[in-house]
Structures are given as C-alpha cells and as structure tokens.
C-alpha cells in the first residue's frame, strides 16, 4: 500500500460514495414525504441512459410506451382538470421522443423527462391510492411495510421490463467530457462529483429555507394537519417523486459512460444507497450523503483487501452504525 | 353447430398432440445468465420452425417445451420436474452449473436422459448411477483452461493473476484454472473477486497490478467482463489479458471498444468459423448454423451459446431416430426414454459447431481438446483466430 | 375444534395425484408456508420486519447437507444439528438486533442475510461454494423412504398443519397478546409486566427455528443445496408472500404462499399463450400482480376476502377466574411513597424534590398547571423513566429506577393520558393482557397447547373485571369500536384484572362526558372503599375535588401544597399558580 494506491482508492471510494449519495438523497426525500422506500430507484436510474442509447440509435425505447401507459392510467384516475397534466405531459413526451431520434442534445432531455414523468406516474398510479385511507375508515392507509412490498413488486416488474426493452447486455454511451483531470479522476467523474455536491446543497436549502420544501415535509409528518393548512399531500408526493426521478435520471445519464449501464445494475446501487440513507436516519440529507461517501470508501478499501467478502463487509458495517443510530433516535414504531 | 365443430377440433388436436415427441428445454431467459439463455432459447425456436416445415423426425411431430428458470436453481428443478411429469422424452438445459446439478436428481429419479448446456465438469463426472442419465455439450472450464494455459506457456508467461465473478461461473473457473496452472508449473500470484453488478473494481485492479503478473485471466461472462479489463488498462497494466469463452458474444466487443483490443480468449471453433482451416471438422456445420440463425435473427446476432443448443439437437436428432426404431413412446414411455439414453450414449463422431462429439460410458462430454478449442484474439474490434491446437 | 380442519391439507396429495407436477408444487408450497408462518410470528405478531428468514433456512439446510454428505449420518441427526445451529444463530443475531428500534431492525436483518449468503458462497471448502453440495440422501421413516414428491408431501404438509395449530395456540395465549401489544405500544405492554427485549428475542428465536425447519425440508426435498435459495432475493420473496396474503393472520400467510408458489407456474402457462414465446414476461407479470394485490388490499388478500366475518365467535369463558386477593392490609398504611424525586431533561428541571405518600384505601390527586411535571412524576414512579435523584417505595420495598415490567408485578398499575388500547384485539383480549404478569405459560407450553386451563382462567378474570366496570356486554367486540369513555373504562378494567392494588390513573376523565365522569367517580370511590389505593392526575377540578381524599399540587416541578381539597383550594400559592399572581391577595 503506497501513496499512489491510497490516493487512487480514496478517489475511487469517493466516486462510488457519491453515486450512492445521490440515490440516498432521492430515497430520503421520497421517504420523508411519502413513507415509501423507493426500491425501484435503481431501475429508474438505468432507464435514463438506456433510453438515451436507444434514441441515439434512432429507435424509440420501450420505456416510452411504459411511461405513456402509466400516464394514461394516471389520467384515468384523475378527474376534470387534473387530467391535464398527464395528458399534456404524455403528448409532449411522445413528440419530444420523435424529434430526438438521432439528436444527442434532445435525446438527453428526452430521457431525463421520461424518467421524471415515469416517476410521477408511478407514484400517482401505485402509491397514492395506497396511502389514502378510505372515507369510512374500513381500511386504514397502508403501513410502511405494505408500501415497501409494493415497491418491491414494482422493482421486479420494472427490472423485467428493462430486460425486455433493452436486452441483457450493457451499454456505454459517450461521456459528456473526455479525458482525465488527474490520474484516477476523469472529467466525467468530476462532473458527477460536482453534480452530487450541488444536489445535496440544493436539497438542503430547499427543505430548510423554501416554503414549499417545508410544506412537503409537513405533508409527510401529518397528512391531516397539512391538509388543514392548505397543502395537498398528493401533490407533495408527486413533487417528491418528480425530484427523485430527476436525480436518478441525471445520475444515471452522467454515470453510464463510467459504469456501463444495464437493466440489472440498479438494484445493488439502490440497496447500498438505502443503507446510506438509513445511516442518516432517513431524515437528514447531509448525514445520508456523508454516510454514503463513507460506504463508498469502505467498499473501496475492502475490495482491495478482501474482494471476495466485500459485499458482506459493507453490509456488516451497517450493524454498529445501526446501533448508534438506534440509541440516538427516539422510538419510532414502524 | 359451433360447439360440435369446436369439439371435433379439440379432439383432433388432442389426437395430433398424442403422437408428438416432447422435448423439455430449460433455459435462463431472465436473470444473470440471460445472455446465455436467450440465444439458446432462440436456437430452439429456430429448430422448432425447421421441424414444423419438415414435418418432424421420422414422421413424428416434435415439440419443444421451453421453460425459463430465471437463472435460479429451485426454478430449474421445478421446471424439470414439470417437464418430466408431462411426458418429455428428454430434457435439455440449463446454462448454469448449479442449476444443472440441481436438475440431476430429478432426471435420474424419473429416468429421463438430459443434455446440459452448462460448463461444470461435475455435471457429467464421474458417471455414477445418477449421471448415467446426464450428458452435456459445452466445453468444460477444464478444457478451456487447458487452452489458456497452453497459450500462456507458449508465450513464456510465468506469473499469473486472476479476477473472476463471485458466483458459480467465476468459482468454477478459479478452481480449474488454478489446477491447470499448477500442473504446468506456472504461478498464480493473486486471485480477486468481483460481482456482476459492481460499478467499480479499482481496489481489485490495484491489488492485481501490485503483484506484477505477466498475464491476468478475467473469469467473467457477458459485458460485465469489460469493467476489470478497462480498469486494468486505465491503471496502467501492460501485460497480457485473457478472458474466458463467456465473453464470446458481439456485445462484449461493442461495449469494450478500444479497451479490449488484444484480448486473448479460448473459444469454441464456431466463434471464428470463417477463419478456420477447411480441414477443421466443425467449420461447415458452424457456418451452416450461423447462416440459419442470422437469417432469422439478424446479421451478427449469433452467439456461441446458442451454438451449444444447436449441438444438442445434432446429437439428439439421430439418437431419436434410432430410438424410435427400438421403442414406441406412446406405448411405453419409460422404455423409450431408456432407449433414447442408450442411443445418445452411442453417439460417435457427430460433428457439431463446437467440436466432434463421441460419447462413451465414462465420458459424457465426448469432446477432444484439439477439435473443441481455439485461441482467439480481438483485433480491430473483431475476433481473429490466433492459434489452433491440432 | 375447527382448527383441526387444517389436517385436511393432508388430503391434497391424493386429490392432486393425477397432476404429478402439482404434487411437487405442494411441497414447495408447504416449505414456503412454513417460512411465511415464521414471518407471521415475527412481523404479524411481533411487528419486526425481517429480511433474513432465508438465511436461517440456509443455516439449517447447509448443516444437514454437510452432516449427511460428509459424515454420512442420518438426516434426522441433520435436523437436530440444523435446528440447533439455527437457534444459536438466531440467539446471537437476536441479542444484537432486537434492541434496535423502528426501521433499524429490518436493516440489520438485511446485513445478516447478505453476509451469510456471501459466506456460504465463498467458504468453498466448507460449503461447496456457489456450486453447492449434491447428492443429499432422502429422508426415511424407518424403512419407508420419502424419495418421491408424493410421499414427501405428507411429511411437509403434516409439519405445516402441526405448526399452524401451534401458532393458533400462540395467538390465543398470553404471549400472543403480549406480542401484539408490544408491536403497537411497547410502553403499555411493559406496564403490564411484559419485558420487551426478552419477548422480542424469544419471538425471533421461534421465527428462526421455524425457518430452519423449512430449510431442512428444502434440503432433503431437492437433495441439493447451494446459496441461491437462501439469498436476499429469496427472503424478499417470502416477505412478499406473507404481506400480500395478509401477514397479520395465519390463513393470510398461507394464502399468500399458495398464491405466489403457484403463480410462477401459472404465468409460465398463461403468458406464452397470450403474448407469444419470444419474450419472457413472467417476472413482469409477477410484479404487476403483486402491485395489483397491494393496491386493492393493502392489508393483504385474506383480510379483504374474509372481511369482518368472524369465523364463528368464540364463546365467553366460563372458567373460574384467577385467584384474586382483594386488597388486604391496614387502611391508612403507606403503600406508595416518593421521596425527593428529581428529573432533568438537558437544562430543564422537570421534577425537583417531589415527595408524597399514598395510603391504602385513599384517593390522592396530583394537580397543577400544564407543564408542572405531573406526567413526568408519574413516569418516574412507574419506572417508565429513571429518576436522576430521589427514591420510590412500593409496599415498603424500594423500586427506584426499576423498569415498568418489574414494578408492575409488585402490585402497581397505570393508565395513560390517551387510552392505549389495542384495536386489533377484542375488548376481552385487551383486558386479558393485564393478566400477563399473573400467568406463567412459556413459549413451549403455549405452542404445545398445554396452557389452556390457565388461559381460560385468565380470560375469566378479564371478563369479571369487564363486568365490574360495566363493559361485560361488549367483551367480544373489537376494541376500536368503543367510545372514548368506554375505552377509559377498559383501561380501568385492565388494571383490575391485573391484580394491581395501587392504581395510577393519568387523566382518567379526559374525553369523558359528564355522565360518564360521574360513573367513573362512583367506581373509583367503590374501589377505594374496597382497599384499592388510587393516585390520579386530572384537570377537571370538580371531578378531582369531589373524589380525592387528599391533593398534592405541583408547579414548575416542585410540590407547592398538600392537603385536603378544601385546604388546597384556599391555599394562596395554589391560587397564584393557577390563576396568576394578581389573584394571590
């Protein structure tokens, strides 16, 4: 272990950690506002670069039809004016895709908007109905566990769809920026780092300073209270999923040149991000991000010293961290 | 009137179905082994089309019943059970070694012959009471490892490194590769693992490079095999890089691009069929298969894994024909299955896409090293025949 | 006796024998159902979500595989070793895990699951690595070999039926109630003598053991063991089965197991017919089916299908209640004493040097403005919070700092500001929870059904207490159908059933209408006459002054006055505290 190796491992750990961090931020956001543990975030992340690659090849990806189908369901579930958003959004998306075939700049935008739309539609169609208790109270709103299992079901379905749409192999889109900043860090990698830090800061400010951000959090803590204050919980949920979709898509697009995107790569990323999110107690953004970087660093070093057991060690790292968090937290019965 | 018509049709179909020979196929069309399973499934669909046009084998319809095992052992076992109980005369599949091993007790108990599409030597060796019923067509890791090490020896390699998947494929490779290295007097100086879903192998790469091997073998399959190779190159590794035959598909070249130039790998002859000397037996058969597959699925779409599936049919078909002369599946299914097994074992000199198959009582793989493996090099984004072992 | 109908499951192999493949599926169903039942115990009853059940399966499966293939020992020895190892693992992991709160617990189970999976895959010398261990022997009963799915199904279904019976017993026992209570509200459970960490650990052990049994059956059915069936994905699958079917009920988890075991194969049949053979859509359909189930039945399929129809209402218990010693001892003897209690939260001194004594047969009221520290004092006395200074004596014995579940059996019971009742249980069961500290059946006795007599007496005790407070008619109703006033009475009935002599009531009148308050007051006076000692906190001055023998007044954490209601009402300090300085003239 010399200085070069140490440096490279640190860089690698930070780069990986930042990926987990981005996803962790999105997961904490979604959980805080909707109580949903967004297991399919990995699939959303991968759909963006894969759809982009398809567009570059002049083809329309299957994810477009998925998004439109969910959008149609969304429109059906809404009444009156509420239908405007899904319908207009869907039409716009289709148009954008038709125009974007073969044009990289438009294709980036198209892939991004696709995942945002898909994220919102996913929430509206699958999660929102679960969270609303029925008027007579004959069935209470779903528990966190039920929401989690729903998320698992969607993860399975989306991953299966990913295989059908994109096939089993990986794809490598061209990076936005070529070359290396310094040995071990490419410009693309630096871009990812910058984006991550920006997102963390932005989310922090959004939730601490802006009224809308605070309203979002309020809606998560107490639905009734939020409604009494004029905040619509459903809207809060859709915004949360939209932001999460945006972050997942951007991360995926920026990362794909570095990691080779494939339909199956998302789950493990999402799981480790989830670990990081928990380290932050599922409430704190800076801590979740920091925790994610720690996870990345730990992973980097264990892959050097004991590559076969790397996964086990990373997850076992959790245990003392969990203890610490649990002792600090007030009893949350969920 | 309509109902009577429907009834008649139904009975007619039922009657037709009665005479059909069912061949059960278990493949991993989803899950981590999908890049192997999908071409295999496609090959069987291709064969089904051919047979439907030809009217079957010896006048009997043949029906392939294809089930997906999702790369999972339990599923493979369930699917096998089901196929066996629905009257399959033979079972083909699956592409992963653990799943194939799980299938063995099922076919042995049901006394149905099975031709596996997986690499593991344990599937057919030693031929005991259970493996009596089991054959396979793909080269074992042992055979391919022999090819790699032979090539290494020829290039004067002394110190070797290994990085492979943390699953059955990588583990099998590690085991046989190490054994072969020892046998030929080379030194394995470092052995690392990574996961298919990993996004970075920097740690492992640094460790590998630090030990300064002359050559590194990457024990992976599909496009995830590109990651360690690229990382090694980026970290400044200048030695030889070998891959396994698991990367012998066009996507590897597509994703690998410049980073995989100069890769050496062992492969079944079909990978470089056009470049083979015309005295190489599998050449004609391989070219025939490629042409048929590409006609249906597109130019450049064929894969060496699909070719294993083709080979099973090249063995199974004549065996079926011979067995049909000896026994009647409609009258006595058990006797037919036993007869079919015997006829499969009697396979001699069948030229396939991956080699020439000759089974014996002790050898249910039946491939000779010289016909079944060649060394290939990646040159200008294409596969180039590098070395023949004949 | 209806529960013995579960043994009808054993008819299934016969019914399905024309379809041999379904007999195979039957075995897979039984194994999955066992794991789902382990989740019923852990998650449905205990509220702990576990992602590690497949890992427990794996421990037992590998244990028996290694023992039978390497050492050539009989599979039944493999069962013993497998179960033993699984329980040992569960103990170690449980000790570390059950103390974690909320969502930290499931996460820790993910950690164990992934770690065990990777170990299984990488300790190649021991476990055969990813390639696994082959050629396990078949199970045999004497000379009868269980080597075909048909025969094996009898064993697996028999064990399943046995376990269903055992878990029915568990649900209808003190332990079942305690687990449900623990899930909803650990503090209330503790105040009735339930030791949360110990009970959780035992539930964890039981769940682990059941999963281990399933692993053993799996190993000798497939006769091949490798890590994949014991991975995180497998654990998630079992969790899906349990939750989609309805993790809170036994029929629910069985339904979920049956549905999803069959689903994979039905989809394989159905989808190629609908969508052609080119693609593989089973996983997509699987995910969509799951999503669909949860959309329409977030509590699970079974609660949706079964609705509120009770499958036969249990009869009212007729046994003799548990022996109840009416409060005895000299009236006026000090039963509860607090001396110089102190508690600070950071910089805030919530309770500062508070002392009082409660005598047998008296009603003592603790009053003061909001924020005076009354509830905190309550918590210090009952053990819900440890004091920073001072002492508490119950019946002359020091109990300072003991946790609630240790204080309660000594004869002290409390209610809470908001009624802490458990909506999934009936009124009778809620009341019966209180008998936890007076009954003794352990897990083994309960599972084997040896607790029936004691259980009947416990229920009878609860019923008698309910009748005492006037809720006897509502005994078999679900507790969430009671009005606020009735819920308060239920809390009181619980205290009576628990045999506590010293009753601490936190705002018993809150949320009650005038008429209900009068009834409550009558009841409390009657209890005091019988020798019960009552310490209550309330804001309704009419209620308090009319009821209490003596009053203690607190403000800013200190006792500022003590005496009879008349004395206290005239006390200028008290008036100042309530009404402001101006009035104190």
- Residue-wise pLDDT tens digits, C321-350: 776 666 777 777 888 899 989 998 888 888
CATH of the domain at C415: 3.40.50.300
Hey, is the C-beta of A69 within 8 angstroms of any chain C C-beta?
no
A283 burial type by CB count under 10 A (0-12 exposed, 13-18 middle, 19+ buried): middle
Q: Taking each helix axis from N to C terminus, what angle separates C20-39 and C232-245, rounded to the nearest 10 degrees?
A: 90
Smallest CA–CA distance from A304 into chain B, residue: B203
Task: Choose among C187, C188, C189: nearest CA to C176.
Answer: C189
Q: What is the pLDDT of residues A126-183, one digit of tens each?
A: 998 887 754 434 345 578 888 888 998 999 999 999 998 998 888 888 887 777 777 7
- Same domain assignment for residues B112 and B223: no
CB B176 within 8 A of CB B188: no
Residue in the structure block whose two tokens are 């759909």: A47
Residue A314: closest CA among chain C residues belongs to which residue? C111
A106 pLDDT higher than 80: yes
Positive or negative CA dihedral for C281, C284, C288, C290?
Answer: positive
Chain A residues with CB-CB distance to C184 below 8 A? 333
ipTM score assigned to the predicted complex: 0.87
- List chains touching A (3+ CB pairs under 8 A): B, C
Segments in A78-124 forming alpha helices (H)? 84-100, 104-122
Using the beta-carbon criterion (under 8 Å), do C111 and A154 form an inter-chain contact?
Answer: no
On whether both B128 and B8 belong to a single domain, the answer is yes
Write the residue in A170, A269, A307 that is nearest to B223 by C-beta.
Answer: A170
Q: Which of C298, C537, C534, C288 is nearest to C412 (CA)?
A: C534
User: Are C355 and C210 members of one domain?
Assistant: no
Q: Mutate which of C47, C49, C103, C231 to disrupt the A interface (most A C-beta within 10 Å)?
A: C103
> Which tokens in the block code for residue B165?
């998947």
Query: What is the nearest CA distance from B163 to chain C, expressed in angstroms?
Result: 14
Q: Is A31 on the interface with C (CB under 8 A)?
A: no
| Alpha-carbon dihedral sign for residues B187, B189, B195, B200 | negative
Ramachandran category for residue B327: left, alpha or beta (phi over 0 → left; psi -120 to 50 → alpha):
beta
Asked if B203 and B324 sit in the same domain, the reply is: no
Residues C465, C469, C473, CA angle at the centre, nearest 5°?
85
Domain boundary among C211, C230, C249: C230
CA distances from residue A122 to A44, A155, A264, C34 in whole angstroms, order as listed: 10, 11, 19, 33
Break chain A into its structural domains and give their ranges: 37-133+141-272
Q: Where are the beta strands (DSSP E) in A113-252?
A: 180-182, 185-186
**Within 10 A of A310 (CB to CB), how many other CB atoms are there?**
27
C147 chain-B contacts, CB cut-off 8 A: 109
* Chain B (240-299) residues lying within 8 Å, Cβ to Cβ, of chain A: 249, 251, 254-255, 257
Cβ–Cβ below 8 Å for A160 and C290:
no
> What's the CA angle centered on C258, arms C255 and C260, to 5 degrees?
105
**CB contacts, 8 Å: A300 with chain B:** 200, 202-203
Q: Residue B199: which of A19, A304, A307 has the nearest Cβ?
A: A19
Q: Which positions in chain A touch C290 (Cβ < 8 Å)?
A: 149-150, 152-153, 156-157
Chain A to chain B, count of Cβ pairs less than 8 Å apart?
93
**What six digits make up the tokens of A278?**
């928990």
Query: N- to C-terminal Cα distance for chain A?
Result: 45
Query: How many CB pairs (< 8 A) connect B and C?
Result: 90
B201 in any annotated domain: yes
- How high is the pLDDT of residue B16? 47
In angstroms, rounded to a whole number, what is the distance separating the alpha carbons of residues B80 and B78? 5
Tell me what pLDDT residue A331 has.
44
Which of C188, C204, C230 is the endpoint of a domain? Answer: C230
Select the residue of B196, B203, B222 nearest A304 (Cβ to Cβ). B203
Q: In this model, does residue A123 exceed pLDDT 50? A: yes
Q: Is the pLDDT of residue A125 over 60?
A: yes
Own/partner long-range contacts of B122-127 (Cβ < 8 Å, ≥24 apart): B122/B97, B122/C131, B122/C134, B123/B97, B124/B363, B124/B364, B124/B365, B125/B364, B125/B365, B126/B362, B127/B361, B127/B362, B127/B363, B127/B364
Distance to chain A for C301, nearest Cα, Å = 12
Q: Do B73 and C132 touch (CB under 8 A)?
A: yes
- Nearest Cα neighbor of C410 from C498, C486, C474, C490 is C498
pLDDT digits (tens, 9 = 90+) for A272-314: 888 888 777 666 777 788 888 888 999 999 999 988 888 888 8
Q: DSSP strand E in chain B: where?
A: 21-27, 62-68, 90-93, 114-116, 134-136, 159-165, 187-194, 215-219, 240-243, 264-267, 350-351, 356-357, 374-379, 382-388
- In sign, the C-alpha dihedral spanning B291, B292, B293, B294 is positive
Pick from C118, C291, C294: which is nearest to A312 by CB? C118
What are the phi and psi torsion angles at A182 (to 5°)?
-150, 160
Å from A13 to nearest chain B CA?
Answer: 9
> Considering only CB atoms, which chain A residues are within 8 Å of B257?
172
pLDDT at C585: 45
Q: With bands split at pLDDT 50, 70 and 90, how would you rate the model's confidence at A73?
A: very high
Q: Give the pLDDT score at B12.
A: 46
Q: What pLDDT score does B306 carry?
A: 92
pLDDT for residue A220 = 65
The total number of structural domains in chain C stands at 2
Q: For tokens 């003799």, name the residue.
A: C320
Which residues in chain C touch residue A302, judged by CB atoms under 8 angstroms apart? none
Chain B residue with Cα closest to A162: B30
Token pair 């009624």 is at which residue?
C419
| pTM, to two decimals | 0.86
**To the nearest 10°, the Cα dihedral for C514, C520, C523, C527?**
-140
Cβ contact, residue pair A262, B224, below 8 Å: yes
Chain C CB within 8 Å of residue B105 CB: yes
- What is the least distance, in Å, from the CA of B325 to any CA of chain C? 29
From B169's Cα to the closest Cα of chain A, the distance in A is 14
Smallest Cβ–Cβ distance between B202 and the set A9, A268, A269 belongs to A9
CA–CA min distance B154, chain C (Å): 32
Same domain, B160 and B124: no
Task: State how far the Cα of A61 lies from the Cα of A334, in Å rounded to an integer.
Answer: 39
- Tokens 């503790």 correspond to C190
Max avg pLDDT among B149-153, C383-387, C572-576: B149-153
Instruction: Calculate mean pLDDT across residues C97-120.
Output: 83
Q: What is residue B241's three-state secondary structure?
A: strand
B275 inside 8 A of chain C by CB: no
Does residue C408 contact residue C498 with C-beta atoms inside 8 Å?
yes
β-sheet with C397-398: strand ranges across: C348-359, C334-345, C389-394, C397-398
Taking CB atoms and an 8 Å limit, are A153 and C103 in contact across chains? no
In this predicted structure, the answer to whether residue A234 has a pLDDT above a threshold of 80 is no
- Tell which of C187, C206, C230 closes a domain: C230
Residues of A in contact with C239 (CB under 8 A): 149, 152
Half-sphere exposure in the Cβ direction for C467 (13 Å, CA): 9
Mean of per-residue pLDDT scores for chain C: 86
**Same structural domain, B135 and B163:** no
- Residue B282 domain flag: no
Lowest mean pLDDT, pick from A143-147, A227-231, A260-264, B38-42: A227-231
Q: Tell whether A163 is within 8 A of chain B (Cβ).
A: yes
Among candidates C394, C395, C366, C369, which has minimal Cα distance to C549?
C366
Block means of pLDDT (10 residues each) for chain B, length 390 residues? 50 54 92 87 93 88 90 86 90 91 90 94 89 94 93 94 91 93 94 90 93 95 92 92 91 90 93 90 92 90 90 94 90 92 93 93 90 92 90
Q: Is it the case that residue C96 has pLDDT exceeding 70?
A: yes
Closest CA to B175 of B165, C63, B241: B165
Provide the pairing of β-strand C397-398 with C389-394: antiparallel
Whether the Cβ atoms of residue C50 and residue C64 lie closer than 8 Å to each other: no
Asked if the C-beta of B142 comes within 8 angstroms of chain C's C-beta atoms, the answer is no
Query: Is B277 within a domain?
Result: no
> What CA–CA distances, in Å, run from C309 to C298, C306, C430?
18, 6, 20
Q: Does the beta-carbon distance from A309 to C118 stay under 8 Å?
A: yes
Nearest neighbour of B206 by CB, restricted to A167, A304, A311: A304
B81 contacts on C by Cβ (under 8 Å) = 21, 24, 149
DSSP state for residue A140 in the 8-state scheme: P
B324: in domain: yes
- Look at phi and psi of residue B349 and say left if phi exceeds 0, alpha if psi is from -120 to 50, else beta: left
Query: In this structure, what CATH number is given to the domain that contains residue B131?
Result: 3.40.50.2300
Taking each helix axis from N to C end, the angle separating C104-122 and C75-97, rounded to the nearest 10 degrees, works out to: 140
Q: Which of B163, B195, B202 has its CB closest to that of A311?
A: B195
Domain that holds residue B64: 2-139+287-367
Q: Which of B237, B267, B297 is the last residue of a domain?
A: B267
Helix/strand/coil for B65 = strand
Are B129 and C135 in contact by the 8 Å Cβ rule? The answer is no
User: Number of structural domains, chain B?
Assistant: 2
Q: What is the pLDDT of residues C39-85, one digit of tens each?
A: 999 999 988 889 999 999 999 999 999 999 888 888 899 899 999 99
Question: Using an 8 Å Cβ cutoff, are A71 and A115 in contact?
Answer: no
**Is residue C581 scored above 80 in pLDDT?**
no
Structural domain harbouring C175: 2-230
For chain B, say whether C278 makes contact (Cβ under 8 Å). yes
C159-196 in b/e form (b: 16+ CB < 10 A) is bbbebbbbbbbbbbbbbbbbbbbbbbbbbbbbbbbbbb
Check if A161 contacts B (Cβ < 8 Å): no
Q: What is the mean pLDDT of residues C437-464?
A: 84
């Amino acid at each position: 272990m010399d200085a070069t190796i140490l440096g490279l491992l640190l860089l690698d750990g930070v780069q990986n950690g930042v990926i987990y961090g981005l996803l962790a931020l999105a997961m904490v956001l979604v959980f805080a506002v909707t109580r949903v543990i967004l297991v399919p975030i990995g699939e959303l992340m991968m759909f963006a670069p894969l759809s982009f690659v398809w567009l570059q090849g002049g083809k329309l990806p299957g994810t477009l039809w998925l998004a439109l189908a969910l959008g149609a369901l969304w429109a059906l579930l809404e009444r009156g004016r509420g239908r405007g958003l899904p319908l207009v959004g869907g039409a716009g998306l289709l148009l954008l895709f038709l125009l974007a075939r073969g044009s990289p700049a438009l294709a980036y935008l198209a892939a991004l908007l696709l995942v945002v739309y898909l994220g919102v539609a996913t929430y509206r169609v699958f999660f929102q109905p679960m969270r609303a208790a029925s008027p007579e109270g004959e069935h209470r709103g779903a528990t966190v566990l039920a929401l989690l299992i729903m998320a698992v079901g969607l993860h399975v379905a989306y991953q299966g769809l990913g295989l059908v749409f994109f096939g089993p192999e990986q794809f490598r889109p061209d990076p936005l920026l070529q070359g290396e900043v310094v040995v071990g860090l490419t410009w693309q990698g630096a871009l990812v780092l910058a984006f991550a830090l920006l997102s963390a800061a932005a989310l922090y400010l959004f939730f601490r300073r802006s009224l809308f951000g605070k309203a979002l959090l309020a809606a998560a803590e107490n639905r009734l209270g939020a409604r009494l204050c004029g905040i619509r919980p459903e809207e809060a949920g859709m915004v949360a999923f939209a932001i999460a979709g945006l972050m997942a898509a951007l991360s995926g697009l920026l990362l794909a040149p570095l990691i080779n995107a494939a339909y199956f790569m998302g789950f493990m990323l999402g799981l480790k991000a989830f670990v990081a999110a928990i380290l932050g107690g599922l409430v704190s953004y800076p801590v979740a991000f920091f925790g994610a970087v720690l996870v990345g660093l730990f992973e980097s070093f264990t892959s050097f010293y004991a590559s076969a057991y790397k996964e086990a060690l990373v997850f076992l790292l959790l245990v003392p961290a969990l203890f610490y968090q649990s002792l600090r937290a007030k009893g949350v019965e969920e | 009137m309509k109902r009577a018509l429907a009834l008649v049709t139904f009975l007619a179909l039922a009657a037709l179905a009665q005479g059909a020979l069912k061949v059960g196929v278990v493949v991993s069309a989803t899950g981590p082994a999908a890049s192997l399973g999908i071409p295999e499934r496609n090959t069987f669909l291709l064969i089904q089309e051919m047979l439907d046009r030809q009217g079957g084998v010896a006048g009997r319809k043949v029906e392939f019943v294809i089930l997906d095992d999702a790369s999972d052992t339990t599923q493979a076992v369930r699917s096998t059970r089901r196929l066996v109980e629905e009257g399959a005369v033979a079972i083909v599949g699956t592409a992963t070694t653990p799943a194939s091993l799980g299938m063995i007790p099922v076919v042995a108990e049901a006394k149905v012959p099975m031709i596996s599409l997986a690499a593991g030597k344990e599937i057919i060796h030693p031929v005991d009471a259970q493996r009596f019923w089991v054959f396979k067509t793909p080269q074992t890791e042992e055979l391919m490892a022999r090819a790699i090490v032979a090539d290494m020896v020829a290039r004067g390699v002394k110190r070797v490194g290994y990085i492979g998947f943390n699953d059955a494929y990588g583990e099998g490779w590690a085991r046989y590769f190490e054994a072969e290295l020892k046998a030929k007097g080379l030194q394995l100086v470092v052995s690392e693992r990574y996961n298919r879903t990993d996004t970075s192998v920097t740690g492992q790469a640094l460790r590998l490079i630090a030990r300064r091997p002359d050559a590194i073998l990457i024990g992976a399959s599909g496009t995830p095999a590109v990651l360690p190779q690229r990382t090694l190159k980026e970290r400044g590794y200048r030695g030889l890089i070998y891959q396994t035959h698991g990367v012998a598909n066009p996507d590897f070249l597509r994703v690998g691009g410049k980073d995989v130039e100069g890769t050496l790998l062992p492969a079944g002859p079909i990978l470089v069929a056009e470049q083979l000397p015309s005295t190489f037996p599998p050449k004609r058969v391989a070219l025939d298969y490629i042409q048929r597959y590409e006609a249906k699925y597109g130019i450049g779409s064929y894969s060496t894994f699909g070719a294993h599936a083709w080979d099973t049919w090249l063995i199974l078909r004549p065996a079926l024909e011979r067995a049909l002369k000896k026994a009647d599946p409609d009258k006595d299914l058990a006797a037919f299955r036993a007869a079919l097994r015997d006829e499969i074992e009697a396979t001699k000199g069948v030229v396939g896409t991956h080699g020439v198959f000759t089974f014996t009582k002790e050898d249910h793989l039946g491939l000779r090293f010289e016909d079944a493996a060649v060394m290939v090099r990646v040159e200008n984004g294409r596969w180039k025949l590098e070395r023949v072992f004949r | 006796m209806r529960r013995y109908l579960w043994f009808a499951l054993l008819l299934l192999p016969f019914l399905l024998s024309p379809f041999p493949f379904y007999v195979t599926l039957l075995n897979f169903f039984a194994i999955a159902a066992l794991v789902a039942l382990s989740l019923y115990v852990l998650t449905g009853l205990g509220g702990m979500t576990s992602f590690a059940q497949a890992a427990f399966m794996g421990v037992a499966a590998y244990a028996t595989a290694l023992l039978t293939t390497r050492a050539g020992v009989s599979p039944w020895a493999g069962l013993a070793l497998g179960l033993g190892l699984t329980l040992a693992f569960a103990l170690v992991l449980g000790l570390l895990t059950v103390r974690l709160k909320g969502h930290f617990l499931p996460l820790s189970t993910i950690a164990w699951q992934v770690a065990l999976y990777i170990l299984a895959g990488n300790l190649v010398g021991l476990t055969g690595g990813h390639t696994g261990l082959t050629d396990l022997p078949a199970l045999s009963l004497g000379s009868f070999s269980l080597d075909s799915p048909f025969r094996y199904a009898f064993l697996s279904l028999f064990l399943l039926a046995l376990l269903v019976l055992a878990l029915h017993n568990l649900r209808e026992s003190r332990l079942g109630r305690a687990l449900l209570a623990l899930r909803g509200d650990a503090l209330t459970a503790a105040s009735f003598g339930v030791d949360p960490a110990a009970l959780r650990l035992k539930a964890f052990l039981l769940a682990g053991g059941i999963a281990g049994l399933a692993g053993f059956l799996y190993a000798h059915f497939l006769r091949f063991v490798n890590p994949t069936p014991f991975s995180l994905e497998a654990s998630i699958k079992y969790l899906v089965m349990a939750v989609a079917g309805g993790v809170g009920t036994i029929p629910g988890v069985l339904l979920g197991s049956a549905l999803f075991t069959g689903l994979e194969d039905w989809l394989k049949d159905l989808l190629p017919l609908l969508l052609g053979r080119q693609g593989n859509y089973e996983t997509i359909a699987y995910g969509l089916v799951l999503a669909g189930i949860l959309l329409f039945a977030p509590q699970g399929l079974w609660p949706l299908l079964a609705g509120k129809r009770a499958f036969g209402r249990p009869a009212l218990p007729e046994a003799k209640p548990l022996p109840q010693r009416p409060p005895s001892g000299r009236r006026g003897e000090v039963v509860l004493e607090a001396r110089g209690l102190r508690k600070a939260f950071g910089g805030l001194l919530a309770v500062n040097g508070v002392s009082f004594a409660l005598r047998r047969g008296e009603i003592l009221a603790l009053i003061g403005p909001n924020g005076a520290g009354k509830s905190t004092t309550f918590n210090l006395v009952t053990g819900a919070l440890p004091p920073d200074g001072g002492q508490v004596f119950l019946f002359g014995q020091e109990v300072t700092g003991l946790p609630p579940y240790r204080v309660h059996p000594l004869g002290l019971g409390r209610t809470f500001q908001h009624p802490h009742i458990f909506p999934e249980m009936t009124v009778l069961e809620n009341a019966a929870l209180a008998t936890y500290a007076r009954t003794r059946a352990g897990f083994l006795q309960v599972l084997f059904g040896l607790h029936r007599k004691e259980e009947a007496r416990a229920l009878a005790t609860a019923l008698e207490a309910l009748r005492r407070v006037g809720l006897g008619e509502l005994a078999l109703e679900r507790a969430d159908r009671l009005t606020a006033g009735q819920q308060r009475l239920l809390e009181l009935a619980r205290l009576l059933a628990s045999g506590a002599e010293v009753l601490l009531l936190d705002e018993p009148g809150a949320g009650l209408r005038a008429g209900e308050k009068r009834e409550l007051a009558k009841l409390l006076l009657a209890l005091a006459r019988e020798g019960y000692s009552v310490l209550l906190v309330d804001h309704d001055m009419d209620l308090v002054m009319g009821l209490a023998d003596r009053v203690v007044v607190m403000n800013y954490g200190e006792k500022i006055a003590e005496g009879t209601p008349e004395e206290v009402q005239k006390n200028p300090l008290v008036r100042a505290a309530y009404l402001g300085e101006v009035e104190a003239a």
